């Protein structure tokens, strides 16, 4: 794996796509659908969002023409790669009842072999985060593991930042550092573009051998780095210094009520978040009552049932649910998994229907000395 | 128990601990040791408060009588408990009966004497009030918690 | 491509079939089930751990194991009807088959408690999760100092395991005449001849060596908060107080996120937690 930086023309990228298909991968990447850039199967380079960019603001996402031929000239859309490794709906087992016995079968289908093309640095971090959740503890999720073990990752660096991005604050991007098989930076020149890349694994090196490429010149490599560096300087900011302690001390901060007054408790943020992993299960039986199955589906900490304890929910108010989401993502996640649950992709800001911006909420809670302030709860302590 | 032994005993008890030696000596003098048999009434509902009690051994039931339902048990008190905080309030009457449920040894303290000393010596009175406040607070807290019916089926 | 470590259980989400070997009606709404593995080895567990019990087509619930850890061939659970799944479990007959996953979670600190006095405080349906610890203490009685079981129930009719409570009065005893089992009820009924009042009122009179005492408690959270306050008054160090917590456990292995309490996954880091782990979270509303 001693390969240095390389240069890949578009023809080489097409060969790469074809080589992956030949090796049995389902090639997934960005494509335009219903006004957004989503992740779906890539058959040819024309499936890529050529010439598109995504204009993102709090509560707003709009595709626009760039006026050039860039293939990866956008940031991130509503999808993330978790939908493939941690599917939104998954059957966990089937139970069969016959002659008074009960048999359990795990999901029998072989896990698909995925190649992800166009993985952003923040998304590589999101995959690392979910690896900790599903593989890093005393138990491992066999469904996630089966998909994860086979995945091939082609990262593509961002050369511009979206208006809701803050990966540089949480040190997840914009440049892909590890966790990929190949990483590319697209250099756009009018309708044309080429890629400067680096190899991240043996599998990546082997694949590259099957694709037309040449070593990158120093100037080409430096130009690519400069493009990524430019993106780093365009972002909003989240102050991560002492973030966990700050939030733990701010659990009664009046700002929670302010944000709760806006929050619709819709759970969009949890659906688009590339690290949110919470699920619920559903049990069904067939009409004959002989076969039952259990499916797991993405859940959201914003639903009432999420914290149900016989009798009622632990978190009744929107305040409590938003607080749970934010403090989990930015504080307790660190206790649980040793890293932040946020990768700075900005999706929760963009896809929030009322444009709640977690970087703004955290900044508003910096005055932790008001942490003991409990609004409208006086009048009962000692009577 | 000798008088010195009684003073020591009182000073070891969380209710009396920290009172001035002269107060402890006075209380030791006042204390009347009683041994009660099962079924005895320490006091009955409606009676005037004569004494307060420090239970040393046994079990006392606080009861209230409801026609047709017999004696309803509100609470039991046992070793270490102080019973009869209402003595600090003059001319009060007992709202519950206290009946011995297991053979009980206790110390009784004459209410009128305690109140008279508290009136004369406000330091003593204040110290005693603080201690009874704690007893009342604990009793109130326990009552509130039982109102929650914590072990019942969630509604 | 990554190479990943091997898991301890291949699929922790798939149940194993167990047959109901015995059903005991404990009270009007509590049933004890004894289960036997249909295939494979019996399920070994540590006192305080729980399993996920699955009723065909109805669903799955977390239930603490209430049996003897030295007799794993019978997996014992004591279940109260509070919802659809627990009701289905309570209505099972001998011979029925259920799904079992587990055992999961942390256990009572019975190793660290060696040489200590042990105070167990149970409220309501909190006694079953302590019973494996009681069995352990009985099996290793000489390794522990004074042992107390303080048990509060709603009414005398709600008392669980009344015959065993009588036996334990002698078998848990550290000295002739000691009364290690102390029971109180919220409402006296019938010919109840014991204490009436909160379980916390049983703590003050205990003879213990506070600095060398370990306390284990299970019950409604409000009860445990006041139990802790009373145990602290006795001078037992915070780090020797252990609680069994309850949250919405669905997966039991830390994947589903439902049972979080601050930084803890109650299913994985709990259910048994040391008081300092939850001190800042227990009294906070809606966390």
Q: List Cβ neighbours of A204 (8 Å cut-off, separation of 6 or more).
A: A1, A152, A180, A181, A182
Residue pair C137/C117 in contact (Cβ under 8 Å)? The answer is no
Could you tell me which chain B residue has the CA closest to the CA of C195?
B76
Which of A170, A200, A232 marks a domain boundary? A232
b vs e for A142-178, b when ≥16 Cβ sit within 10 Å of the residue's Cβ? bbbbbbbebbbbbbbbbbbbbbbbbbbbbebbbbbee
**Domains, in order of start, for chain B:** 33-147 (2.60.120.10)
Q: Does B153 sit within 8 Å of C197, measured CB to CB? A: no
CB atoms under 10 Å from CB of C156, counted, come to: 18
Task: Chain A: list its partners (3+ Cβ pairs within 8 Å).
Answer: B, C
Tens-place pLDDT, residues A123-146? 999 999 999 999 998 899 999 999
**Predicted local distance difference test score (pLDDT) of residue A365:** 87
Q: Does C14 sit within 8 Å of A139, measured CB to CB? A: no
Give which of B102, B145, B153 to mutate to test C binding, by max C Cβ within 10 Å: B145
Tens-place pLDDT, residues C22-64? 999 999 999 999 999 998 899 999 999 999 999 998 999 999 9
Beta strands in C136-247 (DSSP E): 147-153, 181-185, 195-196, 213-218, 241-244
Interface of B with A (CB under 8 A): 154-155
Q: Does C255 sit within 8 Å of A104, measured CB to CB? A: no
CATH superfamily of C16-104: Translation factors (2.40.30.10)
pLDDT band (50, 70, 90) for residue A373: very low
Chain C residue numbers with beta carbons less than 8 Å from the beta carbon of B64 are none
pLDDT band (50, 70, 90) for residue C4: low
Check if A309 contacts C (Cβ < 8 Å): yes
**Predicted local distance difference test score (pLDDT) of residue A2:** 55
CA distance C174 to C147: 7
Which of A209, A232, A255 marks a domain boundary? A232
CA distance B101 to C153: 20
Chain A residue numbers with beta carbons less than 8 Å from the beta carbon of C220 are none
Is A65 a residue whose pLDDT tops 60? yes
- Kindly state the DSSP code that residue C65 receives in the 8-state scheme: B
Q: Are residues A34 and A178 in the same domain?
A: yes
Q: Are residues A214 and A123 in the same domain?
A: yes
CA distance to A37, A196, B80, B104, per residue, from B99 (Å): 80, 92, 17, 10
Q: Are residues A111 and A135 in the same domain?
A: yes
**Predicted local distance difference test score (pLDDT) of residue B40:** 94
Chain A residue numbers with beta carbons less than 8 Å from the beta carbon of B155 are 311
Q: Are residues A46 and A193 in the same domain?
A: yes
pLDDT band (50, 70, 90) for residue C165: very high
CA distance B64 to B70: 8
Q: What is the mean pLDDT of residues B142-146?
A: 89
Residue pair C77/C53 in contact (Cβ under 8 Å)? The answer is yes
Q: Are residues A187 and A259 in the same domain?
A: no
Q: Does C204 sit within 8 Å of B151, measured CB to CB? A: no
Question: What length is written for chain A?
Answer: 383
Task: Chain B: list its partners (3+ Cβ pairs within 8 Å).
Answer: A, C
Q: What is the mean pLDDT of residues B123-135?
A: 95
**Predicted local distance difference test score (pLDDT) of residue A309:** 84
Task: Return the residue matching tokens 């790669």.
Answer: A81
Q: Does B154 sit within 8 Å of A310, measured CB to CB? A: yes
Q: Does A149 sit within 8 Å of C2, measured CB to CB? A: yes
pLDDT band (50, 70, 90) for residue C190: confident
Could you tell me which chain B residue has the CA closest to the CA of C190?
B72
Q: Does C9 sit within 8 Å of A104, measured CB to CB? A: no
CA distance to A46, A179, A273, A296, B126, per residue, from A32 (Å): 11, 26, 20, 28, 80
Is A381 a residue whose pLDDT tops 90? no
Chain C residue numbers with beta carbons less than 8 Å from the beta carbon of A341 are none
Return the percentage of chain C with pLDDT > 70, whole number.
97
**Predicted local distance difference test score (pLDDT) of residue C8:** 59
Check if A142 contacts C (Cβ < 8 Å): yes
Q: What is the mean pLDDT of residues A179-206?
A: 96
Residue A94 within any structural domain of the chain: no
Residue A32 within any structural domain of the chain: yes
Tens-place pLDDT, residues A286-313? 888 899 999 999 999 999 889 988 778 8
Q: List Cβ neighbours of C45 (8 Å cut-off, separation of 6 or more).
A: C51, C65, C69, C72, C75, C102, C103, C107, C132
Mean pLDDT of chain B: 92
Task: Give the 3-state secondary structure of residue A231.
Answer: helix
- Number of domains comprising chain A: 2
Q: Are residues A257 and A207 in the same domain?
A: no
Minimal CA separation from A312 to chain B, in Å: 9
Q: Are residues A32 and A172 in the same domain?
A: yes
Residue ranges of A 82-141 with Cβ closer than 8 A to chain C:
92-93, 95, 97, 100-104, 106, 131, 133-135, 137-141
Which residue segment(s) compose the domain that A266 sits in? 243-372
Residue pair A53/A74 in contact (Cβ under 8 Å)? The answer is yes
Residue A119 within any structural domain of the chain: yes
pLDDT band (50, 70, 90) for residue A87: very high
Minimal CA separation from B143 to chain C, in Å: 8
Give which of A95, A243, A253, A376 to mutate to test C binding, by max C Cβ within 10 Å: A95
Residue pair B24/B11 in contact (Cβ under 8 Å)? The answer is yes
Q: Does C125 sit within 8 Å of B151, measured CB to CB? A: yes
**Predicted local distance difference test score (pLDDT) of residue A377:** 38
Residue A177 within any structural domain of the chain: yes
**Predicted local distance difference test score (pLDDT) of residue C2:** 60
Chain B residue numbers with beta carbons less than 8 Å from the beta carbon of A311 are 154-155
Report domain extents, chain C: 16-104, 117-214
Give which of C197, C198, C217 to mutate to test B binding, by max B Cβ within 10 Å: C197
Check if A304 contacts C (Cβ < 8 Å): no
Q: Are residues A247 and A226 in the same domain?
A: no
Q: Are residues A259 and A136 in the same domain?
A: no
Chain C residue numbers with beta carbons less than 8 Å from the beta carbon of B56 are none
CA distance A142 to A133: 12
Answer with the residue of higher pLDDT: B155 or A364: A364
Chain B residue numbers with beta carbons less than 8 Å from the beta carbon of A380 are none
**Predicted local distance difference test score (pLDDT) of residue B90:** 83
**Predicted local distance difference test score (pLDDT) of residue A366:** 80
Q: Does A320 sit within 8 Å of C286, measured CB to CB? A: yes
Residue A331 within any structural domain of the chain: yes
Q: Are residues A204 and A248 in the same domain?
A: no
Is A90 a residue whose pLDDT tops 90? yes
Residue A97 within any structural domain of the chain: no
Q: Are residues A181 and A62 in the same domain?
A: yes
Tens-place pLDDT, residues B14-66? 999 999 999 999 999 999 999 999 999 999 999 988 999 999 999 999 999 88
Residue pair A299/A312 in contact (Cβ under 8 Å)? The answer is no
CA distance A220 to A244: 41
This model of the complex carries an ipTM of 0.89
Chain C residue numbers with beta carbons less than 8 Å from the beta carbon of B141 are 226
Is C91 a residue whose pLDDT tops 50? yes
Topology adopted by domain C117-214:
Rossmann fold (3.40.50)
**Predicted local distance difference test score (pLDDT) of residue C57:** 86
Which of A206, A232, A258 marks a domain boundary? A232
* Number of B–C residue contacts, CB under 8 Å: 56
**Predicted local distance difference test score (pLDDT) of residue C14:** 93
Tens-place pLDDT, residues A100-119? 899 998 877 788 999 999 99
Residue A327 within any structural domain of the chain: yes
Task: Chain C: list its partners (3+ Cβ pairs within 8 Å).
Answer: A, B
User: Among B80, B71, B83, B79, which Cα is nearest to B139's?
Assistant: B83
**Predicted local distance difference test score (pLDDT) of residue C209:** 97
Q: What is the mean pLDDT of residues A225-252?
A: 92
Minimal CA separation from C201 to chain B, in Å: 8
Tens-place pLDDT, residues C95-136? 999 999 999 999 999 999 999 999 999 999 999 999 999 999
Task: Give the 3-state secondary structure of residue C264.
Answer: strand
Answer with the residue of higher pLDDT: A376 or A196: A196
Q: Does C250 sit within 8 Å of A309, measured CB to CB? A: no
Check if C4 contacts A (Cβ < 8 Å): yes
Is C197 a residue whose pLDDT tops 90? yes
């Amino acid at each position: 794996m001693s390969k240095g930086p390389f240069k890949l023309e578009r023809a080489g990228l097409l060969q790469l796509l074809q080589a992956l298909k030949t090796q049995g991968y389902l090639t997934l990447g960005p494509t335009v659908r219903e006004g957004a850039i989503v992740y779906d199967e890539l058959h040819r380079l024309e499936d890529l969002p050529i010439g598109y960019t995504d204009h993102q603001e709090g509560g707003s996402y709009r595709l626009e023409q760039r006026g050039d031929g860039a293939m990866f000239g956008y940031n991130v859309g509503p999808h993330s790669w978790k939908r493939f490794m941690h599917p939104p709906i998954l059957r966990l087992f089937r139970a069969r009842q016959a002659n008074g016995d009960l048999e359990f079968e795990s999901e029998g289908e072989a896990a698909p072999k995925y190649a992800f093309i166009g993985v952003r640095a923040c998304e590589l971090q999101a995959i690392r985060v979910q690896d900790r959740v599903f593989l890093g503890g005393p138990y491992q999720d066999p469904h996630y593991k089966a998909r994860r073990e086979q995945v091939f990752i082609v990262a593509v660096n961002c050369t511009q930042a979206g208006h809701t991005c803050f990966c540089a604050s949480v040190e997840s991007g914009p440049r892909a550092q590890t966790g990929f098989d190949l990483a590319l930076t697209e250099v756009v020149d009018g309708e044309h573009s080429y890629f400067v890349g680096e190899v991240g694994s043996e599998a990546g090196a082997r694949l590259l051998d099957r694709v037309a490429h040449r070593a990158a010149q120093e100037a080409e490599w430096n130009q690519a780095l400069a493009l990524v560096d430019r993106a780093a300087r365009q972002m909003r900011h989240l102050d991560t210094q002492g973030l966990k302690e700050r939030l733990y001390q701010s659990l009664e901060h009046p700002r929670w009520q302010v944000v709760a007054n806006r929050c619709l408790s819709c759970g969009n943020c949890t659906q688009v978040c590339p690290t949110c992993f919470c699920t619920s299960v559903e049990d069904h039986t067939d009409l004959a009552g002989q076969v039952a199955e259990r499916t797991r589906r993405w859940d959201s900490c914003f639903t009432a049932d999420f914290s149900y304890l016989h009798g009622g929910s632990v978190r009744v108010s929107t305040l409590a649910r938003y607080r749970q989401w934010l403090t989990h993502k930015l504080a307790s996640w660190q206790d649980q998994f040793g890293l932040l649950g946020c990768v700075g992709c900005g999706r929760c800001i963009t896809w929030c229907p009322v444009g709640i911006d977690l970087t703004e909420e955290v900044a508003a809670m910096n005055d932790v000395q008001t942490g003991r302030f409990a609004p409208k709860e006086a009048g009962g302590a000692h009577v | 128990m000798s008088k010195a032994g009684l003073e020591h005993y009182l000073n070891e008890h969380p209710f009396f601990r920290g009172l001035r030696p002269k107060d402890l000596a006075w209380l030791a003098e006042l204390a009347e040791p009683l041994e009660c048999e099962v079924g005895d009434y320490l006091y009955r509902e409606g009676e005037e408060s004569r004494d307060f009690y420090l239970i040393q051994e046994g079990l006392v039931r606080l009861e209230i009588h409801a026609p047709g339902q017999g004696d309803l048990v509100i609470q039991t008190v046992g070793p270490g408990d102080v019973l009869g905080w209402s003595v600090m309030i003059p001319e009060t009457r007992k709202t519950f009966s206290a009946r011995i449920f297991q053979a009980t040894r206790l110390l009784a303290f004459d209410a009128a004497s305690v109140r008279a000393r508290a009136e004369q010596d406000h330091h003593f009175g204040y110290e005693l009030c603080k201690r009874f406040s704690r007893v009342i607070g604990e009793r109130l807290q326990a009552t509130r918690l039982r109102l929650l019916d914590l072990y019942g089926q969630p509604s | 491509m990554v190479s990943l470590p091997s898991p301890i259980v291949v699929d922790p989400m798939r149940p194993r079939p167990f047959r109901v070997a015995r059903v005991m009606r404990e009270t009007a709404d509590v049933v004890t089930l004894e289960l036997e593995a249909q295939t494979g080895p019996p399920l070994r567990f540590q006192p305080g751990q729980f399993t996920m019990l699955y009723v065909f087509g109805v669903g799955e619930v977390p239930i603490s194991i209430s049996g003897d850890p030295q007799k794993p061939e019978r997996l014992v659970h004591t279940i109260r009807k509070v919802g659809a799944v627990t009701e289905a479990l309570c209505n099972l007959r001998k011979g029925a088959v259920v799904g079992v996953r587990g055992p999961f979670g942390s256990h009572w600190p019975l190793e660290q408690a060696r040489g200590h006095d042990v105070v167990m405080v149970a409220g309501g349906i909190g006694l079953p999760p302590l019973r494996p610890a009681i069995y352990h203490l009985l099996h290793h009685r000489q390794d522990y100092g004074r042992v107390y079981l303080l048990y509060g129930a709603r009414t005398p009719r709600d008392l669980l395991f009344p015959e065993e409570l009588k036996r334990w009065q002698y078998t848990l005893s550290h000295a002739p005449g000691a009364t290690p089992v102390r029971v109180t009820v919220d409402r006296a009924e019938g010919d109840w001849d014991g204490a009436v009042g909160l379980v916390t009122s049983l703590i003050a009179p205990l003879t213990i060596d506070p600095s060398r005492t370990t306390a284990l408690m299970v019950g409604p959270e409000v009860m445990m908060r006041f139990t802790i306050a009373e145990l602290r008054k006795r001078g037992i160090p915070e780090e020797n107080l252990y609680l069994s917590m309850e949250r919405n456990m669905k997966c039991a292995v830390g994947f589903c996120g439902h049972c979080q309490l601050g930084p803890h996954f109650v299913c994985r880091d709990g259910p048994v937690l040391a008081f300092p782990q939850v001190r800042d979270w227990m009294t906070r509303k809606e966390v």
